[in-house]
Chains A and B, each alone.
Chain A
């Protein structure tokens, strides 16, 4: 059609000139020419000139020199020209702030214009000019526009508040715009409501604790009404906002669900998915036996299915979300398996997602169908997809036990095709099937062995070697097979070498007579000719085992292996909970929490699913463990009993040569005056003192008296400054913890149980750093080296922040004190009891396991002081059911002393009130995972010698209350 347009231009038929010519010229003196045109009297010419300027701007030319001339064109009543000028202004105001001021007068004037379009345009543009100077002038016009009679202006102004807040948050608060914005939620125009909600949501996100979006049943009702009337985009804002609301009870939850459900049939898939999010969240509160619950489940399926009819891009996003939904509530889509069958023309990334969902939905009922499909996929052209399909068959076998036999025969069929990569993948998954169902399908080994020669990928070779080694007694020519691999030993990858070594040792243990030569050959290959440390180490271990105690070797090498389960690829429940709250957002596509990819404080707020009322599941879903950002990719979740397996993965890396954070010698931070650092001050005597003041048995007696003598001021003194006083006190023979109370060390691991290693320890929090103070004593006869430590997942994600610094070998009868800094960014799993910590310590002798309990005050953070207002609101906000009452008797402290003491452990007193001879203290505590604990303490005054304290603790996660109380008791009594 090129010719047509040319023809048309030539003939002058196209009376208008096209815009594209603006892009073409780059003549010299262009700016000059434009300047002249901009100052022309003719409106048309001016407009053309501004268009040219904007075209240059788009392609990246610098036309800022024309700023004054363009601004001059602003005073016009031609709306098109005005819009163009505004467009220009927005782009350049930031680089030319002084010039922008020139335009302010016109803006202010335009805000009074009778035409609402111009009023909105002016206020909108002013908001976009991110120059501080302009913001002062913006306030008045903005205030007017927020109350404008025209909804178009109001909705524009609403968003403008958010913009202004981004530039100058304080100004917005001072000017009271936030309240006006809140009023707009009740506006008569739904679009205004939607924009107000969007603006408030964004502002609230940057202030997680402000009660800006104070949702209550009335406002919810208003939002739901506006929902039915506003545009599709507005509906998305409102639905996303609704998803943050916590309904009071299941009835309210149901009524919201009922009103949101019609959105599921909206044509805009974004609306649909936002509605799904709201429903998924609120469903949690509905009792499962409710009829409505079943209805809702049924209603959710069709819209999700429909999402799959969109373009591949949307399909992909939908599938990522469905993957989450299926993990949370498989019952929704259990009958829709067929939808996820792959179409031949799907893009590969859609195919792979579908495959994943198919396996998640696989059950006994549909397994035949799934297998038939997978078998078809395994013969497709795309190699990647075929590999995944073959693996999927293996995963089905592991997931659905009844289907295992069928899966194995399907895999055998595939092996028959002799297609190289299919065979290799099949062998890899058959290995897993053998692990899951030992001694069941060994009859197929013969078939596998036929394909030995075609295996060229390390993973498949390793799998095959494993099979041969594991079932050596059933394979007549196992030694020949393994020998054939051994020929090219040095060319194999490490994976294969390791596997070959193990397999031959297994073979030797099973058939010792015939294979002695072979095993010697492999051991020497591994230990002498290899420079891979892993391989060498393993070789030596086997060698020594075999030479010292063949029976033990048999026990070790042929030990029973832990079973594998299908759960290995599920997303961790806590992460899943959070992702469910982020359905339809980027988080759900990445399968990462927003904190992992959004910079700054925004989006770091952790959302959680409301707990179901009065159901056994509530404890699980309101898990305290929904703590700190876990940036780890979705990992294997061990069941709680699986500690051993988990700890076996102990990182065996030797201690690195980094600068030790704490160490018994001279290096010590100011923070650590209390810890190992004291040793050096006290010289050799520190051995008898035990290093840590709190922990030393000889000091223990003195400690009991200490609190009474404690100067009140000291409790508030920062930890560093306290060091001096500390030393002073020490001279007086009394140890005084500056910060929080540190319990004396207790024996965690008796020497009896750990081949001579005795570990005692305690926990301390010093200046915001959590430390685990350990005393290691060698009660064995040999030297101990190579210490390493690892924690099992625990409720608050405690994990070592560095390696265990025991640099010198621990000779017999030597004792060493180590302080291990801890972080709270480790993996999270709720423990029983909550503060339980399971630890593995390794040395050159063995790996030892013990568990200990830490005081909850360990994870009370320093900035745990809540604003008074926020305290009040939060106190009200937490349901009374979550309140727990405790009594503390036999405390000899008045309220001031108590609050000082508590402050040392990061329990902050926010307010004090005296009512009828009783002191009431209001206190707040913040845990490292962001959970707030509020407390009200009642102290009988008057009689300082005998005080009874009543404590009521409120927290959104009621499980912690008991442990917080224990901390109170511990701190106040010591």
Chain B
């Protein structure tokens, strides 16, 4: 049972404050802010308590979204709710920032009232479908939607790499914008996003691999009775099912949004959903341990110790990395960060490097004991190599054991690692002409580690 909800800017300004149960005073806001800013790195920030009051918060859009409680509720519920509140705010206001929250405070209060029915902190609903019946205030958009913005819809530009969540840029405008007038387009975006975590052992053995995937819809259609999303027909679910010789697409487990109707899923792999306006995740799935394809990168490292001058024990570490991209030749990878941590650095060091092409860069970050190698574009099937010489005085051969794993982060556009595809996307009844449908695929690296 939520006692209070408040939204703070990163500087601690009060943007929204709502008390549901009259148990606590407004002072708790500053108490919270003091606590959260004083938190040290290794303390879990999720739940904090102060004199019997418990704060649960998430950070989204640079803001603190905080709920406080005096009872023993489920932190899951509250975190989910806060995330949902942030998502809804984004849906309604177009984007998530201090500015948009400030501009739409009345709307957010109203949203809160309806979501929690300001009722004693019981969460009621977070579905836009239901909410739109009650919400009266109109959103004020900080960024008027214009045709220019459509350039962002162009599939994954370089900036999406930074924002981890690819599709959000595509459609940052309020879902309910300008009631009455025909604003925006009747568009619907369907994104298949996969996150890949891989651990490859020092001998090149695949030690662990898993994929977390989700299908997301962002819908701008004012009314849409039913949408049918067809997935690969040969999709199989669960570990136990026998695999045939065909290239079946398999996932271990999936979860669905509760609005999804699954009556055609078992036989035809069709998801039926009446998307409400805004963003929602219709399906989440995961695959553990068995990748259907080889991992996208192979690394052949060698780390050696060499002497510059043996007599004064001036030694250096030679690191030679050969990296091969195992994707089909037509595909390529955007921005690949490769980093090695830790390196046995002492106070004095210097590095020389030999990279295979001029657009790559390499950098030594002594603070993190890290070596960073950046490759802006990496075509499938290609092989790149780099040689680093790091001078480290007084290096013992044992400290080579310390040279840590190589981790990579990257984005593979237009493909999924599981092979999950959307066969078709049908709206019924067919919308009048204007509706546009976008289907996009992307795979991110969540954690891709190669041990040396």
A residues lining the B interface (CB < 8 Å): 1, 4-5, 8, 13-14, 16, 18-20, 22-23, 51, 54-55, 58-60, 79-80, 83-84, 87, 90-91, 94, 117, 124, 127-128, 130, 155-156, 159-160, 162-163, 166, 191, 195, 198-199, 202, 231-233, 236-237, 240, 265-270, 273-274, 302-303, 305-306, 309, 311, 313-314, 316-318, 338-339, 341, 343-346, 348-349, 352, 372, 376, 379-381, 384, 413, 416-419, 582, 584-587, 589-590, 594, 597-599, 602-603
Q: At the interface with chain A, which of B250-258, B303-311, B416-424? A: B250-258
Q: Return chain B residues, CB-CB under 8 Å to A1.
A: 142-143
Selected contact of A598 from candidates B70, B210, B288, CB within 8 Å: B70
**10 tightest CB-CB pairs across the interface, nearest first?**
A343-B447, A349-B44, A80-B136, A270-B76, A270-B77, A159-B119, A309-B212, A233-B123, A594-B72, A302-B253
Chain A residues, CB < 8 A from B70 = 598-599
Please indicate the chain A residues that have their CB under 8 angstroms from the CB of B323 in the complex: none
Do the beta carbons of B286 and A305 come within 8 Å of each other? yes
Q: Is the CB of B449 within 8 A of A343?
A: yes
Measured CB to CB, the nearest residue on chain A to B139 is: A16
B346 in the interface (beta carbon within 8 A): no
User: For the complex, what is the distance from the CA of A703 to the CA of B120, rounded to whole Å?
Assistant: 60
B interface size (C-beta, 8 A): 99
Docked CA distance A338–B70 (Å): 37
Candidates A59, A163, A231, A344; contact of B405 at CB < 8 Å: A344
B142 touching A384, Cβ below 8 Å: no
Complex Cα distance, B370 from A191, in Å, reads: 54
B144 A317 Cβ-Cβ under 8 A:
no
- Distance A270 CA – B99 CA, assembled complex (angstroms): 30
Find out whether the CB atom of B252 lies under 8 angstroms from the CB atom of A274.
Answer: no
Q: Give CA–CA (A156, B124) in the complex, Å.
A: 10
Q: A584 near B76 (CB under 8 angstroms)?
A: yes
Check if B103 sits within 8 Å of A90, measured CB to CB. Answer: no
Given A311-B83, A597-B72, A603-B71, 7 more contacts at CB 8 Å? A87-B109, A199-B122, A236-B123, A313-B58, A348-B42, A381-B369, A418-B398
Alpha-carbon distance between A302 and B106 when the two chains are bound, in angstroms: 42
Measured between beta carbons, the chain B residues less than 8 angstroms from A166 are 21, 120
CB–CB A316/B125 < 8 A = no
A266–B77 Cα distance when bound, in Å, is 13
Q: Are A54 and B119 in contact (CB-based, < 8 A)?
A: no
Q: Are B105 and A380 in contact (CB under 8 A)?
A: no
Stretch at the interface among B46-54, B374-382, B433-441: B46-54
B255: A residues at CB distance < 8 A: 265-267, 303, 306
**In the complex, which residues of chain B have a beta carbon less than 8 angstroms from the beta carbon of A585?**
72-75
Complex Cα–Cα for A341 and B405 (A):
14
Q: Taking CB as reference atom, which chain B residue is nearest A336?
A: B288
A57 nearest CB neighbor, chain B only: B17
The residues of A that contact B407 with a CB separation of less than 8 Å are: 344-345
- For B371, the chain A residues whose CB sits under 8 A away are none
Q: Determine if B126 and A341 form an interchain contact, defined as CB atoms under 8 angstroms apart.
A: no
- Spot the interface stretch: B110-118, B223-231, B294-302: B110-118
Question: Inside 8 A of B134's CB, which chain A residues have their CB?
Answer: 117
CB of A156 within 8 A of CB of B208, answer no
A269 touches B143 (CB 8 A): no
CB distance from B69 to the nearest CB of A (A): 8
User: Would you give the shortest CB distance from A60 to chain B, in whole angstroms?
Assistant: 7
Residues of the A chain whose Cβ atoms lie less than 8 Å from the Cβ of B281 = 267
Q: Complex Cα distance A655/B405, Å?
A: 57
B258 & A311 in contact (Cβ 8 Å cutoff): no
Task: Tell whether A58 pairs with B14 under 8 Å between CB atoms, given A20-B103, A344-B449, A586-B75.
Answer: yes
A19–B75 CB distance below 8 A = no
Q: A597-B54, A598-B70 are in contact. Are A339 and B254 (CB under 8 A)?
A: no
In the docked arrangement, what's the CA distance between A946 and B212, Å?
79
Inside 8 A of A273's CB, which chain B residues have their CB?
A: 74, 76
**Residues in chain A near residue B252, CB distance under 8 A:** 302
Which residues does chain B contribute within 8 Å of A339, judged by CB atoms? 210, 288
Report the minimal beta-carbon distance from A179 to chain B, rounded to whole angstroms.
20
Min CB gap A36→B, angstroms: 21
Contact B79 A317 (CB under 8 A): yes
Q: Is chain A's binding surface mostly helix, strand, loop or mixed?
A: helix
**Chain B residue contacts of A266, Cβ below 8 A:** 255-256, 258
B137 interfacial by beta-carbon distance below 8 Å:
yes
Given contacts A231-B124, A418-B396, contact A306 B136 (CB under 8 A): no
Chain B positions within 8 Å of A268 at CB level:
80, 258
- How many A-B residue pairs lie within 8 Å, measured between CB atoms? 256
| B185 CB contacts on chain A under 8 angstroms | none
Contact yes or no, B76 A19, CB < 8 A: no
| Residue pair A124, B119 in contact (C-beta under 8 Å) | yes
Question: Across the two chains, which residue of chain B brings its CB closest to A239?
Answer: B74
Q: Are A380 and B404 touching (Cβ within 8 A)?
A: yes
Selected from B26, B43, B212, B258, the residue in CB contact (under 8 A) with A60 is: B26
Other-chain residue from B119, B123, B136, B144 in contact with A163 (beta carbon distance below 8 A): B119
Give A59 to B105 CA distance when docked, in angstroms: 11
Residues of A close to B109: CB separation below 8 A? 54, 87
B146 shortest CB reach to chain A, Å: 8
Partner-A contacts on B (CB < 8 A) = 1, 14-17, 19-22, 26, 41-47, 49, 52, 54, 58, 69-77, 79-81, 83, 99, 102-106, 109-110, 113, 117-120, 122-127, 130, 134, 136-138, 140, 142-144, 195, 197, 199, 201, 208, 210, 212, 252-258, 281, 284, 286, 288-289, 341-342, 368-370, 396, 398-399, 401-405, 407, 446-447, 449, 451
Give the docked Cα–Cα distance between A159 and B121 (Å). Answer: 10
A376-B254 in contact (CB<8A)? no
- Say how far B242's CB is from chain A's closest CB, in angstroms: 18
Closest residue of chain A to B109 (Cβ to Cβ) is A87
Q: Which of B44, B103, B119, B286 contacts A309 (CB 8 A)?
A: B286
B405 pairs with A16, CB closer than 8 A: no
Q: Could you tell me the distance between the alpha carbons of A590 and B122 in the complex, rounded to whole angstroms? A: 22
A-side contacts of B76, CB under 8 Å? 269-270, 273, 314, 317-318, 584
Q: How far is the CB of A20 from chain B (nearest CB, A)?
A: 4
A302–B281 Cα distance when bound, in Å, is 19
- 21 A-B contact pairs sorted by A residue (CB < 8 Å): A4-B144, A5-B144, A87-B109, A155-B124, A159-B120, A166-B21, A231-B130, A265-B254, A266-B255, A302-B253, A306-B253, A311-B83, A314-B79, A314-B80, A341-B199, A345-B407, A346-B447, A352-B42, A587-B72, A598-B72, A603-B72
Residue of A265, A303, A313 ringed by the most chain B CB atoms within 10 A: A313
User: Of B21, B122, B140, which one neighbours A19 at CB under 8 angstroms?
Assistant: B140
Report chain A residues within 8 Å CB of B58.
311, 313
A19 partner residues in chain B, CB cutoff 8 A:
102-106, 140
Interface pair A202/B1, CB less than 8 Å apart: yes
Residues of A within 8 A of B69 (CB): 586
Asked if residues B99 and A586 are in contact (CB atoms below 8 Å), the reply is no
Find out whether the CB atom of B46 lies under 8 angstroms from the CB atom of A306: no
Q: Which residues of A contact B288 (CB under 8 A)?
A: 305, 338-339
Q: How far is the CA of A343 from the CA of B102 in the complex (A)?
A: 37
Q: Contacts A586-B47, A586-B72 known; A348 to B41 CB distance under 8 Å?
A: yes
Q: How far is the CB of B133 from chain A (nearest CB, A)?
A: 8
Instruction: Tell me how far the C-beta of B391 lies from the nearest C-beta in chain A, rounded to whole angstroms.
Output: 20
The answer for the CA separation of A479 and B99 in the assembled complex, in Å, is: 72
Find chain B residues with CB under 8 A from A306 CB. Answer: 253, 255, 284, 286
Indicate if the CB atoms of A236 and B253 lie closer than 8 Å.
Answer: no
If A4-B143, A348-B41 touch, whether A83 touches B136 (CB-CB below 8 Å) is yes
**Contact of B71 with A55 in the complex, beta carbons under 8 Å:** no
Inter-subunit contact B398/A344 (CB<8 Å):
no
Q: A58 near B16 (CB under 8 angstroms)?
A: yes
Q: In the complex, A85 Cα to B323 Cα: how many Å? A: 65
How far is it, in angstroms, between the C-alpha of A546 and the C-alpha of B115 when the chains are bound? 76
Q: Is the CB of B102 within 8 A of A20?
A: yes
Tell me whether A598 and B71 are in contact (CB under 8 A).
yes
A94 and B106 alpha carbons, distance in the complex (Å): 22
- Whether the Cβ atoms of B71 and A16 lie closer than 8 Å is no
> Closest A-chain residue to B29, C-beta based?
A60
Instruction: From B102, B120, B289, name the one whose CB has the most chain A CB atoms within 10 angstroms.
Output: B120
